[in-house]
Amino acid sequence: MCGRYTLTDPQEAHDLLAPILDDPGLPEEVPPRFNIAPTQTLPIVANRQRRAFELARWGLVPSWAKDLSIGNRMINARAESLAERPAFRDALARRRCLVPATGFFEWQKVGKRKQPYFIHPDPLRPYAFAGLWDRWKTPEGSWLVSFTIVTCPPNELVAPLHDRMPVVVAPEDWDRWLAREALPPEALQDILAPPPAEGWVAEPVGDRVNRPDHEGPECIAPPRPVQGSLF
């Protein structure tokens, strides 16, 4: 799965995606993020009539949902079963999005604790996850836009850490993933594959990232060395 990720330079991510946007501009309320967690509001690029950076809640809330809480269980969508699950089937055909990011986290069990790893391109730079989006009408009558990140089996870099990883959409596939017309699942299957491990690294980081209320560059800093006893 993908339960945490980063967007350390929103402006750089926007500039990277600018060639495929119809409406340029970055929402002012998008600060650098080093520990993004589910239910938080982040930028996406959806396949609307006009493509633009827009803010959406992480955790898909389908249009037919009875309440918001369903989104807490839909932060990820398995690529292999998108066409089978009602919550994702129509979104795969009609409501796809790109989720700008600069890295993501996974945890590996080491003895009685879990060691977090920061997985990212080297050097650190933005890219885009494959996502699905939807709109849900709140009880107050406003519209909530939400999204989920599509996952696939891991590549050789991530496999020692977890049995899933996010789908990373290559720049040459951005236009096809964001096509405005409905597409059958078979037209997108080649995109929903593990990305090459070359050019990526998995670096151990400190425990600060374990808490979703922690933010800042310290979340991607190396672990502090354990101080040995003098006796």
Q: Is there a catalytic annotation at residue 2?
A: yes
Q: Read off the DSSP letter of residue 178.
A: T
Task: Determine the Cα–Cα distance for residues 70 and 95; give it in Å rounded to an integer.
Answer: 18
The catalytic residue among 2, 97, 152, 219 is 2
- Residue 213: is it exposed, middle or buried by C-beta count within 10 angstroms (0-12/13-18/19+)? exposed
Spatial distance between the Cα atoms of 59 and 146, rounded to a whole number of angstroms:
6
Q: Distance (Å, rounded) from C-alpha 82 to C-alpha 93?
A: 10
Q: Which two tokens stand for residue 223?
A: 């672990």
Question: Of residues 97, 106, 152, 219, which has the active-site annotation?
Answer: 106
Residue 160 · residue 108 · CB < 8 Å: yes
Q: Looking at the annotation, which residues are catalytic?
A: 2, 106
